Each structure stands twice: as C-alpha cells, then as structure tokens.
Amino acid sequence: MEQTNQHLGTERIGRLMKQYAIPCIISLLVGALYNIVDQIFIANASYLGSYGNAANTVVFPLTIVALAIAVMIGDGCCAFVSISLGREDTKTARSSVGNSVVMTVVSGLVLTAVYLIFSDSIIAMFGGTVNAETFHHSREYFFYITLGIPFYMFGQAMNPIIRADGNPKFAMISTLAGAVINIILDPIFIFLFRWGMMGAAVATVIGQVATAILAIWYLCHMKIIKPGKTHYRLQGEVCGRTLVLGITSFLSQISLVAAMAAINNMLRKYGAMDAIFGLEQYAQIPMAVVGIVMKFFQIVISIVVGMAAGCIPVVGFNMGAGKRDRVRELFTKLLIAEGLVGAVALILVECFPRQLIGIFGAANESAYYTNFAIKAFRTYLCMMIFACVNKACFIFLQAMGKAVASTALSMTREIVFGVGFALLLPIFFGLDGVLYSMPVSDLLTFLVALVLIVGTYRELNQGGKTL
C-alpha cells in the first residue's frame, strides 16, 4: 500500500514543526559547517592565518552560487510536491522530482565548466587580488572546491526533496555524514600533511561526494513519490512551476553573492585608504574579519532558514488541502520562534565578540585584527532579530505559493538594500560604512515585511478551512 502525507493535515502543528524543522535545521547547520570548519582550521594553521581566511572569504560566495541553483531546484520541487500531494496529484509530484534531478545534474556540470574556464577573473571579481598571497591561496582553494560542485549541488538539491518524501531524518543524516568526514579529514590534511588550502578543499569535496552518494541511494528507494523512468523526461510546464516556486530560494542566495561581491570590493577599496589596513601586511584583515562575521551569521541563518524551510511540506500540504487555520497557526509559532533565535544571537555578538573571534585563530593575529573583529561583530549584526524574522517571511510566503511577493521581498533586501547600501554608505563613512550596510538593510526590510505579514494574516483569516 502506498504511503501518504495525510498526517500533515491532522497532526498537531507544534509536533509537526519539531518533526520537520529540527532535522532541517541540523541539515543546514551541518551544510554550513563545511565552509566554517575549513575556516576554523585554516585560521589556526600558522602557515595560512589571515591570508587563508581572506582566501576562504573570497571563495565562499562562489560556493553560494552553486547552492543558490541547487536550492532553487530542491526547494521549488519540495513546495511543488507538497502542494501536489495536498491535492492528491501524485503523478505531478513524481514528474517534479524526476525533472529536478535532471536539472540539478546538468546545471552542476555547466557551472563547474564555467568556474574552471574563468577562475582567475572570477576570483578577482570577488576581491581576491587584495594582495599576492591572498590571490595565491584563493586560486588553490577555488580549483579543488570547483571539482566538487556537481556533488555539492546534487546533495543540497535532494535534501528538501527527501524531506518532501516524508523522511527529514534521512535528509539530516546524509548531510551529517559528509560534514563528519570533512571535520575528520580537515586537521589531517591541513596540520599533518600540511596540504594547506588544497587540504581544506579536498576534505570538503570528499564529504560532499559521500552526501551525494547517500542522496542517490535514497532516490532509488523513495517511499511516497517514487518517480519512474518516464518522470525523468523534462517537461516545460513542470520545470517552470518548480523553478518559479524555488526562485525565492535562488534569489535569496544569489543576491547574497551580489552583496558579498560589493562588500568585498568596498573592503578592498576603503581598506586601502585606512591608515592601518592600507599597509600591505594588514590589507587582508578587513576581508578576513568580515568573512568570519558572516560565517557566524550563516550559522544563525541556518537555524532560521531550517525552521522555516522544514515547515514547507506542512504549509504546502495544508494550503493545497484548504486548511488555512492550520497555516495561520504555523505562521504565528514560526515568527515567534525566529524572533527568539535572533534575540539569543544578538546577545552573543554584543556580549561575547572577543570569544567568538577567538575561535577563528585571533591569537595568531595582531591587535588590529582583534579590535576590528570586535567592532565588526557588534555593528554588522546589531539588527539580528529583524534579519531572522525577514528570512522566515521570505520562505513562508514561498511555501504558500506566493512566489511573486516572496521574491519581491527577498530582492528588496538583498539587491536594493544589501548591494545599494554596501556601495553607498562607505562613501560617507569609509570602512565603517560597510559595517553599517547590513543593519540598515535589515531594519528597512523589516518595515516592508511587516506589511506583508499583516496582509498574510488577513488572507488566512478569510475562508476558514476552505480555499
């Protein structure tokens, strides 16, 4: 007898949130740990230090491009499948999964080719030419990371699809397995073999391959959707709907890349005008520090996005089934939980910045490094509560099938505000202007999100349990 997801429409909302959100949070946290663990070990290797940190910061947004494409396909498929199952349309759900697998494989191979062909130009675009040593480490790290792009994308795209199939625990385990391998191999390759940036990258790629293999195994043993051979034949309508539902996930990630490119280049430009960071031996510090601050932010956002994205199957199913009262209840609980996460993170960055930067090898660096890091943590992340609520709003609207509203809000935050203020504020405030760009963007985005939140409640209050 074929299994179904009918419990999504009857089980208590609080219990469903725990069942689906916790594995998703762990999956995203573990995924974030790939780059963060690399940076911790790199920072604590005396022969790499802040140069290796800066190189990691340069390459990081380029892995986000791959992630953006993967989550667009995976999250879009997850939302499409959940809505389809809520309408008892299993055939469409299967086609979405099959088409998503094909799109992920093709896009992974194409992106790898582009990265290998234009590597030097791409590295320069993201600030890798701040000095010769940083450029050297960036090239080495980027080459080996690029070789793992197809595996990374496949594992990340399949993760939400596995959740949509009703198995969030396996999605978590597959990602966790790869991260554990990376954590084990990083110190061996970096400290024992002294492979430097290559060692960090190779450890990461081996972990990504393991996750991809587990995802392939699950694809062959799906318990609810079970796509057949015919479902892997690309269909324009199915691909289009999948990508439309996932476009918010794509834009939230890819626009982050645009913001990071702007920030890295502003750090390079205005750092060169600074009395201290204009010196060759300290030129990489602003980029290395902001990269570390963004890694902490990534940990927090992994929790926030995991809570919201984990609920996509629940939201999609209940919207498809016409149970708006359950969707409203979930929205309320999600916003409260996201705000609490932001509050805890805010306390950490404002009260313990020295301890946070110490994790990333500050003991091996100058006082200029530590002082700028403390300032960066406290300034850059001072609007964390609003940032967390904003992210929840993006994803919840996406899960409801409101791709246009979700996309518009995401683009406003990341492109209009994120890139705009990163380019504008340094003109007036110099290097500090880069640090001000994020809190200003989060505050203004929250004001826009508040309008959409109120509108969403009004809509969900209408019609009770029917669409």
Q: Cα separation of 178 and 50, whole Å?
A: 26
Closest C-alpha among 389, 408, 388 to residue 398: 408
**Which of 38, 253, 37, 16 minimizes the C-alpha distance to 156?**
253
How many whole angstroms separate alpha carbon 58 and alpha carbon 122?
Answer: 10
What are the backbone dihedrals phi and psi of residue 234, each rounded to the nearest 5 degrees, phi first?
-60, 135
- Measured distance CA(47)–CA(35) in Å, rounded: 19
Q: How wide is the angle at C-alpha 298 spanned by C-alphas 296 and 301, nearest 5°?
A: 115
Q: What is the DSSP track for 139-201? A: HHHHHHHHHTHHHHHHHHHHHHHHHHTT-HHHHHHHHHHHHHHHHHHHHIIIIIS--HHHHHH
Instruction: Give yes or no for a contact between 373 and 357, defined as CB atoms under 8 angstroms apart.
Output: yes
Residues 6 or more apart from 89 whose CB is under 8 A from it? none
Task: Give me the pLDDT at residue 464, please.
Answer: 44
Tell me what pLDDT residue 5 has: 65
User: What is d(CA 130, CA 144) in angstroms, rounded to the nearest whole number?
Assistant: 21
pLDDT of residue 382: 96
To the nearest 10°, the Cα dihedral for 255, 259, 265, 270?
A: 170
pLDDT at 465: 42
One-character DSSP codes across 407-444: HHHHHIIIIIIIIHHHHHHHHHHTHHHHHHHHHHHHHH
Query: What phi and psi, each to the nearest 5 degrees, are found at residue 194?
Result: 55, 45
Identify the pLDDT of residue 1.
Answer: 35
Determine the Cα–Cα distance for residues 30 and 51; give it in Å rounded to an integer: 25
Report yes or no: 81 and 164 within 8 Å, Cβ to Cβ: yes
CA 18 to CA 14: how far, in whole Å?
A: 6
Residue recorded with tokens 């890798």: 128
Closest CA to 93 of 316, 395, 249: 316
pLDDT of residue 28: 72
Q: Residue 31: phi, psi to the nearest 5?
A: -60, -40
Which pLDDT score is estimated for 346?
97
Per-residue pLDDT of the chain (467 residues; tens, 9 = 90+): 345 567 788 888 888 888 888 887 887 787 677 778 888 888 888 888 788 888 988 898 889 899 889 989 998 998 898 888 878 888 888 999 999 999 999 999 999 999 999 999 999 988 888 888 999 999 999 999 999 999 999 999 998 899 888 888 898 899 889 989 999 999 999 999 999 999 999 999 999 999 999 999 999 999 888 888 888 999 999 999 999 888 877 876 777 788 888 898 899 899 989 989 998 888 889 988 998 898 889 889 889 988 888 888 888 788 878 888 999 999 999 999 999 999 999 999 999 999 998 887 666 678 898 999 999 999 999 999 999 999 889 888 877 878 788 878 888 888 899 999 999 999 999 999 999 999 999 999 999 999 999 999 998 887 544 33
Q: What is the pLDDT of residue 363?
A: 66
Give the tens place of pLDDT for each residue, 386-424. 999 998 898 888 778 787 888 788 888 888 999 999 999
